[in-house]
Amino acid sequence: MITFYKIIVFIHIFSAIIGMGPGFILTTVVRMGNTMTELRHSYKIRHKLHIFVMVGGTLLLITGLTMGFLNPALFRMGWYVTSLILFLISLAMGPLALSPRSKPIKALLETHKGEEIPEEYKRLAKSLFRTEYLENIIFIIIISLMILKPF
């Protein structure tokens, strides 16, 4: 018989695939644009992928905490607590670090005339991508902790 806990673990794993998988390619999608039209289209695709990231991420948090409440011993395990803290940091990065870096890019995409990608975009994107790479590293650490359970 499948237990409720096993169902939560199953949902948790699929949430990681659905949420984190697309998150790792968000930067790659927009790096492929060579004209402003392509770049605008790339950002539309990125936005649609980001919906999967948000839904998967929300389910990850809910199912991860549910597993902790069903098995309180998890809250005493270093890998679980560290993963939870890192995940909360990554969630906070959205409004505190990513949003302020993406808003000027969105404005530029809406207002720029012509097909040539301006240097200002390249400067703004570099800052955004650096932050996204940091967040991806955090997610790789979380995934590693979940698999290895080292402490």
Question: What are the pLDDT digits (tens) for 7-44?
Answer: 999 999 999 999 999 999 999 999 988 999 999 999 99
Q: What is the pLDDT of residue 1?
A: 60
The alpha carbons of the chain give a radius of gyration, in whole angstroms, of: 18
Of the candidates 26, 33, 81, 74, the residue with the CA atom closest to the CA atom of residue 50: 26
Contact (CB, 8 A) for 118 and 108: yes
* pLDDT score recorded for residue 77: 97
Give whole-number Cα distances, 14 to 6, 52, 56, 61, 64, in Å.
12, 12, 8, 12, 12
Average pLDDT, the chain: 95
pLDDT at 32: 86
The structural domain count of the chain equals 1
pLDDT at 2: 79
How many CA atoms lie less than 13 Å away from 145 in the CB half-sphere?
19
Find the mean pLDDT for residues 83-106.
Answer: 96
Gap between the Cα atoms of 52 and 58, Å rounded: 10
Per DSSP, 114 falls in state S
Domain hosting residue 81, numbered range: 4-148
- Band of pLDDT at residue 107, cut at 50, 70 and 90: very high
pTM: 0.89
Q: With 70 as the cut, is the pLDDT of residue 124 above it? A: yes
- Are 64 and 87 in contact, with CB atoms under 8 Å apart? yes
Please give the average per-residue pLDDT across 128-133, as a whole number: 96
pLDDT at residue 61 is higher than 80: yes
